[in-house]
């Protein structure tokens, strides 16, 4: 679409800033159809509307659909890279998929717990114990970002085959030099933890640590180490304000479409800085775990994720959710993590009711709780027992047919003190979800509500930004819970393996675990290594028992992908 036919957009583009940031192209229905990043927003966004520029058919189709554009200003290109990835995961815009040329997304892989940690880029994350960050749409951009960060936090990308001499990258200041003992494994892992913190947006915290470390080294008259730390400090400062997830927020949060819709829909007095999502995972009541994921200003903050192992294995999700929320709102955890501004429960009425009971028992009834039911993606809100809620007739003429036949649909009568039906709200008191459902916003989004027992079931179109945000939080909590459950399940399965192997008694089992560190180490050991510890005959028997278990674990890992 040309700007001549859209004077409103043309006038808006004149206000484009010259700073880096992330931009959102929207269609006539106000849906986000493309998310992009830019080193200079003014230059990049205006390129879409320059007639002289040659475009491929996909880009041409995108431009034809653009009716509005919005943007978020950040402090650096590196921040724009991380923020773009998060926004694409949340909104899943149609043209970000079409314009990818069917290429896989890229992830940063850091196997910090291995004996020779490396930092690499991969297109396929595995359940191998390494930490993964992403996905990112451009592997080239991620490589450039890592090249910048590698100058500050030296890391290895692969193991030196000779394993004796430090590589050229060490002499260039880009590798820790583990081969010649230039850096200890402990110090190297400390460096990688700092790198991970920067990727997660905790740059300010690392700056303070480096400054404190530099002063301590200078006081101890270790001037060479102090100079090295000083150089790290200066390079990190020169990256700009690379903060996305920390307390220092440098983006205009009011531009976040999903958060804005969420605040308007639930009648929240302010933007929810910290949103927590919870889910339960188990296998018929065994290895029961719960996940807590945290989204800071609408963006996943993986450094704040927590996982819970229930005190008792119980095949009852209501019981398990109740225990989890009680533990989360304990005095110790409130002091350590603070209070959330909004809690999202993965589940329907039963899970939400159990969570709210636990919240009230711990004395935090003022914290808003909502649920997201899986089948219809309904936003579940518990009503107050103090008084019956009043819900606006938010259907409108176009949706009257949808309401027909629904006896439990709640419609406010005119003349109840509202200027119009759209002004009506659903009020929740502390013994409910503690949210206010705004009828005007619900009508604008094309949604409607229905009543079920003590709950309000809010139906909002799945393509709205607010539903995409809640789905993103819900899916992340589910993924994190399933991942932890799988780890416990595998440990339990593996732990019992040695007990069932003939000729492997308590003494031999203890010897194996002491030598290889864990059952994972035993399973990964080569034949000659096992023979050295337990002899050839026992090795043959042990390998026979381990072979089907390895196959099962491999298949399970592939299934989770």
Q: Say yes or no: 268 and 415 in one domain.
A: yes
Sign of CA dihedral 289, 294, 299, 302: negative
The domain that holds 538 is classified in CATH as: 1.10.150.20
Of 98, 133, 149, which one is at a domain's C-terminal end?
98
The answer to whether position 484 is within a domain reads no
The pLDDT, as a whole number, for residue 411 is 33
Cα angle for residues 140, 142, 148 (degrees, 5° grid): 110
User: Cα separation of 31 and 167, whole Å?
Assistant: 51
Angle at 286 between CA 280 and CA 290, to 5 degrees: 20
Asked whether residue 246 is domain-assigned, the answer is no
Is 449 a domain residue? yes
Ranges in the chain, pLDDT < 50 = 101-102, 240-252, 386-430, 559-561
Given 71, 98, 125, the domain boundary residue is 98
Residues 119 and 230 in one domain: yes
Cα distance between residue 207 and residue 290, in whole Å? 33
Distances 237 to 230, 234, 282 between C-alpha atoms, Å: 11, 5, 45
CA angle 540, 488, 501 (to 5 degrees): 20
Q: CA 545, CA 497: separation in Å to the nearest integer? A: 8
Determine, yes or no, domain membership for 431: yes
- Distance, in Å, from the CA atom of 531 to the CA atom of 515, rounded to the nearest integer, reads 12
pLDDT tens, position by position, 246-281: 323 334 455 677 888 899 999 888 888 899 999 988
Contacts of 195 (CB under 8 A, 6+ apart): 110, 119, 149, 152, 153, 155
Give the pLDDT confidence score for residue 333 in this predicted structure: 93
Q: Is there a domain that residue 117 lies in?
A: yes
Q: CA dihedral in degrees (35, 37, 42, 47; nearest 10)? A: -70
Query: Do residues 347 and 426 both lie within one domain?
Result: yes
User: Are 273 and 388 found together in one domain?
Assistant: yes
Identify any residues that bridge with 71 across adjacent strands, giving them in sequence order: 23
Closest to 337 (Cα-Cα) out of 346, 347, 328: 328
Please report, to the nearest 10 degrees, the dihedral formed by the alpha carbons of residues 230, 236, 237, 243 taken in order. -150
Q: Are residues 344 and 458 in the same domain?
A: yes
Helices and strands counted in the chain (H then E): 22, 17
Does 378 lie in the same domain as 288? yes
What pLDDT was estimated at residue 144? 78
| DSSP percent split of the chain into helix, strand, coil, nearest 5 | 45, 15, 35
Domain containing residue 42: CATH number: 3.40.1440.10
- Same-domain check for residues 429 and 397: yes
Query: Which ranges of 362-502 does DSSP label H, i.e. alpha helix?
Result: 400-403, 439-445, 465-495, 497-500
**Residues 245 and 299 sit within 8 Å (Cβ to Cβ):** yes
CATH assignment of the domain containing 393: 3.30.420.340
The Cα–Cα gap between 521 and 115 comes to 12
* Residue 64 placed within a domain: yes
Same domain, 120 and 86: no
> What is the predicted pLDDT for the residue at 557?
52
395 and 314 fall within a common domain: yes
Phi/psi of residue 26, nearest 5 degrees = -125, 150
What is residue 382's DSSP assignment? E
Angle at 109 between CA 516 and CA 41, to 5 degrees: 165
Which of residues 74, 98, 122 is at a domain's end?
98
Report field, pTM of the whole predicted structure over 0.75: no
Instruction: Quote the number of domains for the chain.
Output: 4
Tell me if 514 sits within 8 A of 528, measured CB to CB. Answer: no
* Alpha helices per DSSP H over 27-76: 41-47, 57-65
DSSP string, 66-89: --EEEEEE-S-HHHHHHHHHHHHH
* Gyration radius from the chain CA atoms: 27
Same domain for 123 and 83: no
> Using the 8-state DSSP alphabet, how is residue 413 labeled?
P
Q: Is residue 281 part of a domain?
A: yes
Is the domain of 194 the same as that of 296? no
- 150-198 pLDDT, tens digit per residue, is 888 889 888 776 666 667 777 777 888 877 777 888 888 988 988 888 7
Residue 488, in any domain of the structure:
no
**Domain extent at residue 427:** 256-471
Strand, helix or coil at 437?
Answer: strand
Residues 315 and 441 in one domain: yes
Which pLDDT value is given to residue 201? 57
């Amino acid at each position: 679409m040309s700007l001549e036919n859209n004077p409103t957009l043309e006038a808006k583009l004149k206000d484009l800033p010259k700073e880096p940031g992330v931009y959102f192209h929207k269609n006539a229905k106000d849906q986000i159809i493309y998310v992009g990043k830019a080193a200079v927003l003014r230059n990049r966004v205006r390129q879409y509307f320059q007639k002289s520029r040659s475009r491929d058919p996909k880009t041409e189709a995108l431009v034809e659909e653009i009716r509005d554009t919005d943007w978020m200003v950040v402090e650096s290109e590196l921040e724009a890279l991380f923020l773009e990835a998060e926004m694409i995961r949340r909104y899943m815009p149609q043209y970000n998929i079409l314009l990818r040329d069917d290429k896989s997304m890229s992830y940063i892989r850091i196997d910090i717990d291995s004996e020779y940690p490396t930092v690499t880029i991969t297109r396929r994350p595995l359940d191998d114990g390494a930490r993964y960050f992403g996905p990112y749409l451009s592997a080239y951009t991620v490589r450039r970002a890592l090249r910048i960060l590698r100058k500050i936090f030296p890391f290895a990308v692969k193991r030196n085959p000779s394993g004796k001499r430090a590589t050229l990258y060490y002499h260039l200041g880009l590798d820790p030099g583990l081969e010649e003992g230039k850096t200890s494994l402990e110090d190297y892992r400390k460096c990688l933890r700092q790198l991970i913190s920067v990727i997660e947006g905790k740059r300010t915290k690392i700056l303070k640590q480096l400054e404190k470390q530099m002063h301590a080294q200078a006081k101890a008259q270790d001037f060479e180490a102090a100079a090295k730390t000083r150089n790290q400090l200066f390079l990190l400062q020169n990256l700009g304000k690379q903060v996305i997830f920390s307390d220092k927020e440098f983006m205009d949060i009011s531009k976040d479409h999903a958060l804005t819709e969420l605040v308007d829909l639930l009648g929240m007095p302010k933007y929810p800085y910290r949103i927590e999502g919870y889910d339960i995972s188990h296998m018929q009541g065994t290895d029961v775990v719960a996940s807590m994921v945290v989204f800071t200003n609408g963006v996943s903050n993986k450094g704040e994720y927590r996982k819970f192992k229930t005190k008792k294995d119980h095949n009852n999700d209501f019981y398990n959710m109740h225990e989890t929320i009680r533990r989360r709102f304990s005095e110790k955890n409130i002091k350590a993590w603070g209070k959330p501004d909004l809690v999202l429960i993965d589940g329907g009425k039963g899970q939400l009711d159990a969570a709210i009971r636990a919240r009230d028992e711990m004395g935090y009834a003022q914290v808003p709780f909502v649920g997201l039911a899986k089948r219809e993606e309904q936003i579940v809100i518990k009503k107050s027992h103090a008084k019956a809620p009043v819900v606006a007739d938010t259907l409108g003429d176009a949706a009257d047919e949808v309401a027909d036949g629904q006896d439990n649909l709640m419609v406010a009568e005119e003349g109840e003190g509202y200027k119009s039906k759209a002004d009506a709200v659903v009020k929740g008191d502390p013994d409910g979800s503690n949210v206010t459902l705004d009828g005007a916003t619900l009508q604008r989004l094309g949604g409607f509500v229905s009543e079920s027992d003590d709950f309000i079931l809010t139906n909002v179109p799945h393509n709205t930004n607010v539903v995409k945000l809640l789905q993103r939080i819900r899916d992340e909590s589910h993924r994190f819970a399933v991942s932890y459950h799988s780890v416990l399940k595998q440990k339990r399965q593996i732990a019992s393996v040695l007990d069932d192997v003939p000729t492997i008694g308590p003494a031999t089992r203890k010897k194996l675990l002491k030598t290889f560190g864990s059952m994972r180490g035993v399973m990964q050991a080569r034949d000659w290594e096992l023979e050295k510890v337990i002899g050839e005959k026992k090795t043959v028997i042990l390998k026979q028992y381990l072979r089907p278990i390895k196959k099962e674990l491999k298949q399970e890992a592939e299934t989770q992908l």
